[in-house]
Amino acid sequence: MLSQELQNYIDSLIQPRNGLLAEMEEYAHQNGVPIMEPSGIETMLQLLRIQQPEAVLEVGTAIGYSALRMAFALPQTKIVTLERDQERFTLAVDYIKRADMQQQIIQISGDALELEEEVASHAPFDAIFIDAAKGQYKRFFEMYSRYLKPGGMIITDNVLFKGLVYNQEADSRRLRSLVKKIDEFNRWLTANQEYDTVILPIGDGIAVSKKR
Ligand SMILES: C[S@@+](CC[C@H](N)C(=O)[O-])C[C@H]1O[C@@H](n2cnc3c(N)ncnc32)[C@H](O)[C@@H]1O
């Protein structure tokens, strides 16, 4: 990934957020909620601005930070977002209401692996953002990629997982098993002939896959 020095420089050029978004970043920081890293989210938003999707599916809402960032950046885009943690889901409802974005962001509560039918009623999607349980990435991808339009884009976050996938030995068995799953997902995804995929060493590592 980028050296810390380079990452700090790039981060220093990202314009600070204010108001509700700054409050959400502070909440996430104080409460250990893993929202997307600044350079990662800026990259994703820029790809989406270029693509101008009509509809985006997000797997992993947390407190609604990335959903709101997407909605603000893409005022014409419908965002459908899934979250299984009830406390985070409720916080996201509050933040999205405070931003007055309930019309644009459709929140669905539950385990993404059990929501296919409900999600299908909002399909098709031009873009899918996978940012939930890392050990399940392949399952999320397989379940929801069938609702992606031809030429659509799937963005998967954390595919370099703090560098653990390529240069360090994780220090617990649980972490080692997770790292192995992410590495297997990366190999499967980059070899998948239905998509062109590139892995960007930005934030925690982002895979950008375009459906052929
Ligand atoms: C990294 S956070 C999402 C951050 C958010 N996308 C952002 O950047 O603001 C991952 C979230 O996915 C949720 N999650 C994990 N596995 C899930 C699943 N199977 N179904 C739905 N949500 C899931 C977790 O509860 C957590 O809140």
DSSP β-ladder status, 78-83 and 105-109 = parallel
Task: Please identify, by atom number, the ligand 1 atom nearest to the C-alpha of residue 65.
Answer: 9
CA distances for 118 relative to 80, 82, 114, 155, 163, angstroms: 10, 10, 9, 21, 35
- Report CA(15)–ligand 1 centroid distance (Å): 25
**Residue from 82, 83, 101 whose mutation best tests the ligand 1 pocket (most atoms within 8 A of CB):** 83
pLDDT value at residue 167: 79
- Report CA(52)–ligand 1 centroid distance (Å): 24
The pLDDT of residue 71 is above 80: yes
- Report CA(63)–ligand 1 centroid distance (Å): 9
The pLDDT of residue 170 is above 80: no
Task: Please identify, by atom number, the ligand 1 atom nearest to the C-alpha of residue 82.
Answer: 21
Q: Which helix (H) or strand (E) segment is 184 a member of? A: helix 173-191
Q: What distance in Å separates the CA atoms of residue 42 and residue 18, rounded to the nearest whole number?
A: 15
At 173, the pLDDT band (50, 70, 90 cuts) reads confident
Task: Please identify, by atom number, the ligand 1 atom nearest to the C-alpha of residue 111.
Answer: 20
- Report CA(112)–ligand 1 centroid distance (Å): 9
Q: What distance in Å separates the CA atoms of residue 201 and residue 204, rounded to the nearest whole number?
A: 7
Among 16-20, 24-28, 163-167, the least confident range: 163-167
- Report CA(5)–ligand 1 centroid distance (Å): 29
Cis peptide before 34 (omega within 30 of 0): no
What are the pocket residues of ligand 1 if the criterion is a CB atom closer than 6 Å to any ligand atom?
34-36, 60, 62, 65-66, 82-85, 88, 111-113, 131-133, 136
Could you give the percent of the chain with pLDDT greater than 90? Answer: 91
- Structure confidence by residue, pLDDT tens digits, 50-70: 999 999 999 999 999 999 999
How confident is the prediction for the chain on average, in pLDDT? 96
**Residue from 23, 80, 131 whose mutation best tests the ligand 1 pocket (most atoms within 8 A of CB):** 131
- 47: closest CA among 211, 210, 212, 196? 210
Task: Please identify, by atom number, the ligand 1 atom nearest to the C-alpha of residue 136.
Answer: 19
- Structure confidence by residue, pLDDT tens digits, 20-61: 999 999 999 999 999 999 999 999 999 999 999 999 999 999
